[in-house]
Amino acid sequence: MGEESRINYYILFQNYTQGMLLHELLREEHISSRISPAPRSIQGELGCGMSLLIQPEDIDRVRECIEKHHAEYYDIAALPCQINPRRNKFC
């Protein structure tokens, strides 16, 4: 599957504290997540520009972790991959 057709999941938060708490819970459960800026196309009215970037193969485990720990979050958005692996390559 090419990078351009891959789906990434972004977990959005009302505030930074919620994001860091979920990031720690996921780390404790050995689930991969990356702190990422919230994509502008989905940030909307949120004051917090932080999101957690989740790979598609981990999203079910992430949802289970959120439910198990009653973690707070605003929304989970699925977007096509916006990471350009050729960025900053000039040759």
What pLDDT shows up at residue 39? 82
For the chain, the first-to-last Cα distance in angstroms comes to 24
Q: What is the pLDDT of residues 26-65, one digit of tens each?
A: 999 999 999 998 887 776 667 688 999 999 999 999 999 9
Tokens representing 21 are 């708490």
Residue 9 has pLDDT above 70, yes or no: yes
Helices (H), the chain: 16-28, 40-43, 59-69
Fold entry, domain 3-80 = Alpha-Beta Plaits (3.30.70)
Task: Note the pTM of the prediction, 2 decimals.
Answer: 0.80
Q: Where are the domains of the chain?
A: 3-80
